């Protein structure tokens, strides 16, 4: 028999065309991957759980942050869009004011475009002078009260969006004549036992008798006025030595804050507008971004961690399933599956898992956002791209998680794989 | 295509082993095949008999391009396949060779139909044709009534027949069967051998390992393996 080896080999030059190549269409590969997943639905669901929860957490996080952000902004919106304040700039070194606001600031500013109401205010130094009702009707027995006294120009009440429980604000006439009238915040009114204004109740501020013409209900922009005794600024100037208004408050047309702010300084101090400090509240967009950035940063980290755990979960279970399905891999290799077909199938399976996990996670996340929003009485807000991007992220996670197990599977030698009995 | 149409091809052996050895490194090293020479012609039905551990399965694995000889040359259809890259050997396995494993090796979580169809997954057979052929092959081994069953629910003999159906699905030119009748009763053995002989008559080459003398006797030619060596049996 030996001489057989020595004779000219019967082997032909092996042309590539003679040899069959492993071939598999994409459709077949996808069908096999899907069938592989459906063959063991329990395990498939379990594998998916990690991505589902990770993506769900991410979507829910972004949605809750956005909903919370919009909610806060919704409360701010109208007030912040219409508010401007101005006051004399403080000298940095000596901490004294460089200039003062003019007494007629309200009139100067009131003419500007976009201004709906304007008014000045200042704290009145009353020393140890106390406030008491006339006649004394305080049930607690305390008659003299230490109260904050604020001087206001007539326009201030509208400028700070004040509403009245009783009576009304003092007007331009009261102010110009320095009439002895007063408006009480709800706090002082209660302490002084004054509950209505119809019968012209009066109080004593020091030894000056002032007629109460209004009691405030609420002050949206200057809550401190709720606890103040408010007198006309001309009265404060003549009777209490007020030097100048301290602050100008302006209520503008919707969205006109920037325009008004630009004109304000020049109107108040034409010689040197720089001495006036004008402030506009941050725009709602800024507030929203700030809030969302805070919430997002915290929860995105949590969501990302959840997603990472999900990816490790997929990778781990896929790896375990490669080990478990070693003999199946052997069978397929024996039946003519190329290494890339094995790798492709496992990669497709884990990618599909990631995709479906992403879709399910996005749905879960959206549901969580809606439920939380309803519970909090918010309007649920979620950018459309978030649930749309989620399946992409899931797909990528599945793909990445499948790479190593797929390569492991492809590296197996057919016979060795067959021997590993599952 | 019948044998008579292609006399020229019949002259050349389908299988040609030239001093093929397969040594497992161990420890201790096992010489499962020792410098074998063997020629098998097209359409031949060869039975391999021999005691357990003599190297019969190892021989079939080498013939089926599942294992490589550690020495010697293996020419399949005249092509030296021992040194071919993995991809070509894989293509041969998928499209020219059918294999019935001693341990069946069915995919436990897939149906009988899917198991059989898998044999034509990697050779570009269109889906409908694959389905058709799978149904046909399953019918030929008499398992049409279990086509959607899970292999886990089948008896040993039924699993064996599924393995045969899978092996013949792609109409291989070489069928390697490792004790394909080991779990079958005489009637089923008879039917299966009838089927395989029919395929041989159409030009398929069959190498079958068997422990059953009756089965071996029906083969056109018999070889005995003893301790890694081959002997022709008269
Ligand atoms: N992967 C392996 N590593 C080491 N030794 C092996 C390996 N595969 C087979 N062998 C050894 O090679 C020898 C031949 O094994 P083989 O499976 O070919 O025997 P067989 O003739 O098919 O036996 P049986 O009739 O029991 O199936 C045995 O001694 C076996 O232990
Ligand atoms: Mg054996």
Bridge partner residues of A163 (DSSP): A218
Can you tell me the distance from the alpha carbon of A102 to that of A100, in angstroms, rounded to the nearest whole number?
Answer: 6
Through-space distance between the first and last CA atoms of chain B, rounded to whole angstroms: 30
Read out DSSP for B92-116?
A: HHHHTEEEE-TT----TTS-HHHHH
Mean pLDDT of A278-305: 69
Q: Residue A397: phi, psi to the nearest 5?
A: -60, -45
CA B107 to chain centre: 18
Residue of B nearest to A422 (CA): B108
pLDDT at A62: 81
Cross-strand partners of B74: B17
Mind listing the pLDDT tens digit for each residue in B57-85? 999 999 999 999 999 999 998 888 888 88
Please, which pLDDT band fits residue A48 given cuts at 50, 70 and 90? confident
Number of CB atoms found within 10 A of residue A174's CB? 19
Does B160 contact ligand 1 (Cβ within 6 A)?
Answer: no
What pLDDT is stored for residue A264 in this prediction?
A: 85
Average pLDDT of the residues in A227-239: 91
Q: What residues pair up with A249 in beta bridges, in sequence order?
A: A85, A119
CA–CA distances in Å: residue A35 to residues A105, A171, A348, B118 = 80, 83, 11, 12
Residue of B nearest to A415 (CA): B66
Beta bridge pairs of residue B16? B39, B75
- Specify the residue with its C-alpha closest to ligand 1, atom 16: B55
The CATH code of the domain that includes B205 is: 3.40.50.300
Q: Containing H/E element for B136?
A: helix B127-140
**What is the percent of chain A with per-residue pLDDT over 90, rounded to a whole number?**
21
Ligand 2 centroid to Cα of residue A161, in Å, is: 96
Instruction: Report the nearest atom of ligand 1 relative to the CA of B225.
Output: 21
Q: CA nearest B209: which of B80, B22, B52?
A: B52
pLDDT of residue A406 exceeding 70, the answer is yes
pLDDT at A23: 83
A4-18, A307-321, A322-336: least confident range: A4-18
Q: Is the pLDDT of residue A8 over 50?
A: no
As for how many domains chain B has, the answer is: 1
| β-pairing verdict for B221-226 and B45-49 | parallel
Task: Output A297-303 pairs: Cβ under 8 A, ≥24 positions apart.
Answer: A299/A61, A299/A62, A299/A64, A299/A65, A300/A58, A300/A61, A300/A62, A302/A57, A302/A61, A303/A54, A303/A57, A303/A58, A303/A60, A303/A61, A303/A62
Per mean pLDDT, which range of A2-16, A90-104, A207-221, A364-378 is the poorest?
Answer: A2-16
Ligand 1 atom nearest to B55, measured from its CA: 18
For chain A, the structural domain boundaries read 24-75+286-421, 84-282
Is residue A127 scored above 50 in pLDDT? yes
pLDDT given for residue B57 in this prediction: 92
Alpha-carbon gap, residue A201 to A165, rounded angstroms: 15
Cβ of residue B189 lying under 6 Å from some atom of ligand 1: no
Query: Cβ B93–A418 below 8 Å, yes or no?
Result: no
B48 exposed, middle or buried (CB, 10 Å; 0-12, 13-18, 19+)? buried
Nearest CA in chain A to B16: A10
Asked whether residue B58 is assigned to any structural domain, the reply reads: yes
User: What is the predicted ipTM?
Assistant: 0.91
Is B119 close to A335, i.e. CB distance below 8 A?
yes
pLDDT at A11: 45
Range of the domain at B36: 3-104+169-233
- Tell me how far apart the terminal alpha carbons of chain A are, to the nearest angstrom: 42
Distance CA A64, CA A82 (A): 28
Q: Establish if B106 touches chain A: CB-CB under 8 angstroms.
A: yes
Check: CB of residue B130 under 8 Å from CB of residue B124: no
Interchain contact, B166 vs A335, CB within 8 Å: yes
B138 found inside a domain:
no
Helices in A224-325 by DSSP H: which ranges? Answer: 233-240, 257-268, 284-324
**Per the domain annotation, does B158 fall within a domain?**
no
pLDDT for A136:
57
Task: Give the residue with greater pLDDT, A401 vs B65.
Answer: B65
> Could you give the 3-state DSSP secondary structure of residue A379?
coil
| Identity of the highest mean pLDDT range in A17-21, A87-91, A260-264, A278-282 | A260-264
How far, CA to CA in Å, does A278 sit from each of A149, A150, A248, A259, B200? 24, 21, 9, 12, 101
**Confidence (pLDDT) at A284:** 60
**Among candidate residues B156, B132, B130, B159, the one with its CA nearest the CA of residue B143:** B159
Q: What pTM was computed for the model?
A: 0.67
Q: Does residue B160 form part of some domain?
A: no
Share of chain A above pLDDT 70, in %: 85
Q: Note whether residue B164 is domain-resident.
A: no
pLDDT in tens, A172-197: 999 999 899 999 999 998 888 888 88
B137 within ligand 1 shell (Cβ under 6 A): no
- What's the Cα-to-Cα distance from B118 to each of A24, A60, A265, B124, rounded to whole Å? 11, 43, 84, 11
Range with lowest mean pLDDT among A106-120, B7-21, B130-144: B7-21
């Amino acid at each position: 028999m030996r001489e057989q080896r020595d004779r000219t080999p019967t082997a032909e030059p092996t042309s590539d065309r003679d040899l069959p190549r492993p071939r598999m269409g994409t459709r077949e590969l996808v069908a096999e991957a899907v069938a592989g997943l459906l063959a063991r639905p329990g395990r498939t669901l379990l594998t998916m759980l990690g991505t589902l929860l990770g993506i769900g957490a991410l979507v829910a996080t972004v949605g809750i942050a956005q909903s919370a952000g919009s909610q806060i902004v919704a409360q701010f919106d109208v007030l912040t869009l219409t508010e401007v304040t101005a006051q004399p700039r403080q000298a940095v070194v000596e901490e004294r004011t460089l200039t003062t606001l003019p007494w007629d600031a309200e009139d100067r500013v009131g003419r500007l475009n976009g201004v709906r109401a304007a008014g000045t205010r200042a704290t009145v130094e009353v020393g140890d002078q106390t406030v008491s009702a006339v006649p004394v009707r305080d049930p607690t027995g305390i008659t003299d009260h230490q109260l904050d006294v604020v001087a206001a120009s007539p326009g201030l009440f509208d400028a700070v969006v004040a509403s009245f429980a009783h009576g009304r604000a003092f007007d331009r006439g009261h102010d110009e004549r320095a009439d002895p009238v007063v408006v009480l915040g709800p706090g002082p009114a209660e302490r002084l036992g004054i509950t209505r204004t119809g019968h012209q109740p009066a109080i004593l501020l020091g030894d000056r008798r002032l007629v109460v013409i209004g009691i405030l209900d609420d002050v949206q922009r200057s809550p401190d006025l709720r606890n103040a005794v408010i007198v006309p600024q001309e009265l404060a100037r003549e009777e209490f030595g007020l030097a100048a208004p301290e602050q100008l408050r302006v209520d503008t047309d919707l969205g006109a804050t920037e325009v008004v702010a630009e004109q304000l300084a020049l109107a108040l101090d034409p010689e040197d507008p720089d001495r006036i400090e004008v402030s506009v509240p941050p725009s709602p967009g800024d507030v929203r971004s700030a809030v969302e950035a805070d919430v997002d940063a915290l929860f995105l980290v949590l969501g990302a961690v959840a997603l990472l755990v999900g990816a490790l979960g997929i990778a781990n279970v896929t790896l375990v399933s490669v080990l478990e399905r070693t003999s199946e891999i052997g069978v397929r290799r024996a039946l003519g599956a190329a290494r890339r077909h094995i790798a492709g199938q496992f990669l497709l399976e884990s990618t599909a898992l990631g995709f479906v996990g992403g879709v399910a996670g996005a749905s879960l996340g959206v549901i969580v956002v809606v439920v939380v929003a309803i519970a909090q009485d918010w309007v649920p807000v979620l950018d459309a791209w978030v649930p749309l991007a989620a399946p992409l992220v899931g797909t990528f996670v599945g793909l990445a998680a499948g790479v190593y197990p797929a390569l492991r599977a492809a590296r197996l030698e057919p016979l060795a794989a067959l021997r590993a009995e599952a | 295509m019948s044998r008579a149409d292609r006399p020229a091809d019949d002259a050349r052996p389908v299988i040609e082993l030239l001093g093929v050895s397969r040594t497992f490194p161990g420890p201790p090293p096992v010489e499962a095949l020792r410098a074998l020479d063997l020629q098998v012609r097209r359409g031949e039905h060869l039975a391999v008999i021999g005691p357990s551990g003599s190297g019969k399965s190892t021989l079939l694995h080498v013939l089926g391009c599942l294992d490589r000889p550690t020495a010697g040359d293996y020419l399949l259809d005249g092509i030296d396949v021992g040194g071919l890259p993995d991809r070509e050997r894989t293509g041969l396995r998928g499209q020219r060779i059918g294999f019935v494993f001693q341990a069946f090796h069915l995919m436990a979580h897939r149906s009988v139909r899917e198991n059989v169809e898998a044999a034509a997954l990697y050779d570009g057979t269109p889906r409908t044709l694959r389905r058709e052929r799978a149904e046909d092959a399953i019918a030929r081994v008499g398992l049409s009534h279990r086509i959607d069953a899970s292999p886990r629910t089948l008896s040993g003999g039924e699993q064996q027949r599924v393995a045969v159906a899978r092996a013949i699905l792609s109409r291989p030119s070489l069928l390697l069967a490792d004790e394909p009748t080991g779990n079958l009763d005489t009637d089923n053995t008879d039917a299966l051998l009838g089927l395989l002989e029919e395929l041989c008559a159409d030009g398929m080459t069959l190498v079958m390992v068997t422990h059953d003398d009756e089965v071996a006797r029906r083969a056109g030619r018999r070889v005995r393996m003893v301790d890694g060596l081959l002997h022709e049996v008269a």
